[in-house]
Structures are given as structure tokens and as C-alpha cells.
A and B are shown apart, each in its own frame.
Chain A
Amino acid sequence: MQDEKIVELYWQRDESAIRETRDKYGAYLHKIAYNILSDAEDSYESVNDTYLAAWNSMPPHKPSVLSTYLGKLTRRISIDIFRKRNRQKRQATEYSVSLNELGDCLTDGNTPENEYEVKLLAECINTFLRTLSEDARNTFIGRYYFLDSVKDVAKYCGMSESKAKTLLFRTRNSLREYLKKEGFEL
């Protein structure tokens, strides 16, 4: 089914939208989640949360390319699960348990200032990526957005692994210089 028709189902609050999404993008979303979480169960949970997030966000959103929209949701949810899992792992000592309790006094880091800074950073990175060659941009996005392995990135970008590693190294260095120039504290 085409993306427009699936989005239409969401807007009509037709629950078959979830089934159509799962049939068309289930494997794609699972791969994104697994790249981050490396755990089948957590990936399954992440993808299910993605369907729920999609259901809750459409309407009002009406994405033209559903794969990218859902991919972003999955990525964000998976990273949140990963961070939560890591925090739980650190609960091994009384010290870390106490720290965790104190965390109740604080926000989860999603302050408006934080979100604004992330948005500014995103704009900066978008501008930076557009200055790169196609190969450099694609390897960067493949590695750090999709979180594919360097080997996979090299394969689908049509280059050797060593070239991909070198491109990534240079791009990271250039990004660091660019962010410094734009006034971000590193």
C-alpha cells in the first residue's frame, strides 16, 4: 500500500493503519532499533512503541515519506530505551542508587533550553552536511543516523572499508572544527 493511503488510514483512525505499517516497514524499523539496542526483545518493544507514537501523532502530522518519519520515531525511542537500560545497569551500588533517587528532584534533561540547543545543533549539522561530497555525507548518515556498521556502510556506498573509515574520520574532524567555528562548546 502506498504511503499516502496508509497516512490516510491513520487520519481516519482506522486501526488497519498499524497492520499496513507493520507489513510495509516492520523489518526496516526493526533493523534501525536493533542497530541501537542489539537486543531482539528491546527492539520489538521499540518498534511497538513506534506504532503507538505514529498512531498518536497522525493527525496532526501528515508525512509525505512515511519511512523517514517512522525511522526517526524508532530511532528516538530506541535511543531512549538504550539510555534507560544503561541507567538501570548502573544501579549496582548504594552510591548509584542514591544518585538515581536524587534524579527524581531533577528533570529528565528535556528542558526547553536543552531542546532549543539540540535544534540549533541540528540546523548546524544539516548545513555542514550539505557542504560535503555525496560519498562523505552518505557514509556519515549511514554510520551515525542509521548506526549501520562501517562494513555495511562501505558496502552500500560502493567503497572499500578503509576508504569509509577514512572519510568518517575526516568528516568528524571537519564537523568538530565547524561546530567550534559556529560557537558550540565542545
Chain B
Amino acid sequence: MNQDKILDALNLLDDDMIEAVDVLRIKPKVRFKWGHSLAVAACVAVAVFGAFAFWGSDNSPEFSADSNIEDNVFQENAEDIFEEEKSSFNDIADTENKNNSNCAEEGRIESHSLAWPPVYVEILEFNGRGLKACVIRDNGCKHFEENEILTVIYGDEYYALTTPDFKIGDKVYVFYWIDKNDRLTIYTSDIVYEENDYFEKRRIQNEEKVCR
């Protein structure tokens, strides 16, 4: 058996499957970008909120003569802004949860949400395609056991490579997705030192995409 035989065999594929792809080549599927839409919605929400805050000054409380007006406005709105940030983090988590349910239908499980925490590992060695690591703590992820050795393959969106070098012996969080039939090989879009770094990175990237 060699690849020539497979190439020849592919020439005998059923016509209906070929026609389905032919249709796509003429009229491609539109890719719905969840992150992009959420980022736009978040920007619109901030703009609307900002407009209300600016024009709603008739209802603002009286400030003492000695206080700095800017400080008082900041004080009053800080809680609202904090709530805004929390809700955009929750939006990201909700999106990831939705992606998880889509992935579950396809037979994958994606760990990019609060429901599926990343696994905490110690890096053992690097190779050209990824790294080997030992699970220190399953972090509640339920897919890996302590002391299990994992093979991690980098996804294309491997942002961590451009940040401080990871070294053998480093302890990091690995966000993963796996095939239900192939649990030993995991892919990652991100490896980070701190769990919250992942969500912050995603938020910044989404904002950058919107502003471009």
C-alpha cells in the first residue's frame, strides 16, 4: 500500500461527496467569529454606557467643595466599570462554554472555560512539535491524573512562544482540547504561568481585532 494507491482510490469517490465540496468551492461557508462579535458588542456597550454617564450628570450626587470632581466621578463609577469587566469575562466564558457544547457534539472537548479548567503541569522536555509534561495537579479538569505524562502539541495560535521562554522544570497551566478517542495527545492554544493571563490575553486580542 502506498500513497499512489490512495490517490488513485480517491478518484473513485462517490460523486455526491465530491459535488458537496464543489458547491462549497463556489459558494464558501461564512465563518462566524464569536470573539469578534463579542468584542464589537462590548465596545458598543462601553460607548453606550459612557454616553449615559456623560449625559446623566443631572442625577449625580453633590460633591463636597474640597473634593476633586474627577476623583468623585471615578469613585462613583468604579463599581460599575468593575461590573462591566466582570460581565465581559463572563461573556468570554459563556462563549467558550458554547464552543464546548459545539465541540462536544463533534466529539472534542475544549478546555477554554471555567467549566473546563486547564491542567497544571511541569515541563519535562521540548521537541519540535510541542512538549512533554508531567501533571502536578489536575486542577479539577477531570481528564488527567496527577503524575500522568502528557504529550502536548502546539496549536497554530501558540502565543506563549512569543513571551518569556518556558524552561524545563517550569510549572505552567495548559489549556487544551482533546479528542474523546485520543486522550493522550492534547493541543494547546496557550500555555501560561497564571490562569487568569489566558482570559486577559484573549480580551486584549479581541479588542485589538476590533480596533484594527
Contact = CB atoms under 8 A, between A and B. Distances in A.
Contacts of A159: 31
B5 A68 contact: no
A133 interface: yes
Interface string A139-157: 0011011101000000111
B51 interface: no
Interface residues of A, number: 47
Given A122-B9, A158-B31, A141 B1 contact: no
Contacts of B157: 162
A136 to B, nearest CB: 8
A76 B14 CA distance: 15
Contacts of A117: 5
Contacts, number: 106
Contacts of B10: 122, 125, 144-145
A145 to B, nearest CB: 5
A184 interface: yes
Given A68-B19, A121-B5, A126 B14 contact: yes
B25 A156 contact: yes
Contacts of B32: 158
A68 B18 contact: yes
B22 A68 contact: yes
B24 A76 contact: no
Given A157-B29, A161-B156, A141 B12 contact: no
A153 to B, nearest CB: 9
A92 interface: no
Interface in A134-183: 134-135, 137-138, 141-142, 144-146, 148, 155-162, 165-166, 170, 173, 179
B11 A72 contact: yes
Nearest to A80: B8
A102 to B, nearest CB: 19
Contacts of B1: 121, 179, 184-186
Nearest to A36: B7
A96 B133 CA distance: 48
A65 interface: yes
Interface in A6-32: none
Contacts of B179: 170
A79 B187 CA distance: 34
A146 B25 contact: yes
Interface in B12-32: 12-15, 17-22, 24-25, 28-32
Given A119-B12, A162-B156, A65 B19 contact: yes
7 contacts: A79-B7, A122-B9, A135-B106, A141-B20, A142-B25, A155-B28, A161-B156
Given A126-B17, A179-B1, 14 more contacts: A71-B18, A118-B9, A122-B12, A126-B13, A137-B17, A138-B21, A142-B21, A145-B21, A157-B29, A158-B29, A158-B30, A165-B156, A170-B179, A186-B1
Q: Please provide the 3 A-B residue pairs with the shortest distance between their CB atoms, ordered closest to farther.
A: A158-B29, A162-B156, A122-B12
